[in-house]
Amino acid sequence: MRITLALILSTLCAPAAAWAQSDTTVLFIGNSFTYGHGSPVRFYRSDTVTDLNNTGIGGVPALFKSFTDQIGSDYDVYVETQPGSGLEFHLENRLGTIGRRAWDAVVMHGQSTLDFEDPGNPDKLVDTSGRIAEFLHASNPAVEVHLMATWSRADQTYRPEGAWAGQPIDAMAKEVRAGYDQAAQASAAITSVVPVGEAWNRAMEAGVADSNPYDGIEFGTVSLWTYDYYHASTYGYYLEALVVFGRLTGRDPRSLGDHECSAFELGLSRQETTALQQVAFDTLVSADGLTPAPFVLDNPASLARCVG
């Protein structure tokens, strides 16, 4: 009798999300730029997402999941990543993993320079992204496939051996975005390009982020790069996740508010959180000609809810 009563009580007290069916499945395919190398984001809330490779990754997908939970949306989030790889690796080695189910949405990106052997050349990205997108559409013709255009690397810009050496810091991100645009235009199976690199450029232009970590971090700004001046810092991954959140959900990133839970847990100040949310919003508006009208501002998340 006691066991039966305990089981009933545990069932009644369990969160509804634990047994309710998720509305939308989202798969993230990428490399260290997705899983958060070089920052606490890498293993952040790893229990809230499903790592298809069983490596314990939370990463940007877990940030996205946190944001959607806070606005009351039900997303079932999955991760498939491989360090130091382009989409050709996933195409050649992981289709069996990726094809386990039909997805509602997929966010994916290639190698940070577009091509290891020929930096700046989008041909490999165009080919591999289109082939993966077609594979995904075979399982679900309605799947939304979003390509994520990544950021300028400080090490590729400020070091003399870098592929973008001597150019402005925003040049690499612009060239990378052009490559992703070419990939999206080449395949009807690709839905959109998520402008993460442009958000980084905007953050630097707006004075929110420092533009050259090699000469120190300017007072009152954050560094979007981590210690290797290549991968992102917590700030950089947070901005990445905000842009992905806005694109996939159609919600204004500012609606998360300056008490947003993940920012609080990762140690961002309220001022930093607000500034990065504003950058994400401005980028989404300018990159795609959107207006604030489709977005709905909600009350800020409560700190009590984050730690309760």
User: Which pLDDT score, from 0 to 100, does residue 23 have?
Assistant: 82
Measured CA to CA, the distance from residue 251 to residue 1 in angstroms comes to: 48
Do 45 and 62 contact (CB within 8 A), yes or no? yes
**pLDDT number for residue 135:** 98
132-172: per-residue pLDDT in tens? 999 999 999 999 999 999 999 999 999 999 999 999 999 99
One DSSP character per residue, 24-68 reads EEEEEEESHHHHTTTSGGGGTTGGGSEETT-S---HHHHHHHHHH
Reference 180, options 163, 192, 170, 188; nearest CA is: 192
Residue closest to 109 by CA, chosen among 36, 41, 31: 31
Encode the chain (308 residues) as per-residue pLDDT tens digits. Answer: 333 333 333 333 333 333 334 589 999 999 999 999 999 999 999 999 999 999 999 999 999 999 999 999 999 999 999 999 999 999 999 999 999 999 999 999 999 999 999 999 999 999 999 999 999 999 999 999 999 999 999 999 999 999 999 999 999 999 999 999 999 999 999 999 999 999 999 999 999 999 999 999 999 999 999 999 999 999 999 999 999 999 999 899 999 999 999 999 999 999 999 999 999 999 999 877 555 544 555 555 555 566 54
Which pTM value belongs to this model? 0.90
Q: 155: number of CA atoms within 13 Å, CB side?
A: 10
Please give the pLDDT value at position 22. 54
Helix (H, G, I), strand (E, B) or coil at 94: coil
Q: Which residues contact 100 (CB under 8 A, 6 or more apart)?
A: 52
Is 48 exposed, middle or buried (CB count within 10 Å of its CB: 0-12, 13-18, 19+)?
Answer: middle
Q: Please classify residue 219 by burial: count the beta carbons closer than 10 Å to its beta carbon, then call 0-12 exposed, 13-18 middle and 19+ buried.
A: exposed
Distance CA 169, CA 56 (A): 33
Residue 174: how many CB atoms within 10 A of its CB?
16
What are the residue ranges spanned by the domains of the chain? 22-307
Helices assigned H by DSSP within 71-152: 87-93, 95-98, 123-139
CB of 202 closer than 8 Å to CB of 239: no
Q: How many Cβ atoms from other residues are within 10 Å of residue 118's Cβ?
A: 12
| CATH fold of the domain at 22-307 | Rossmann fold (3.40.50)
Match 């809230």 to its residue by tokens: 48
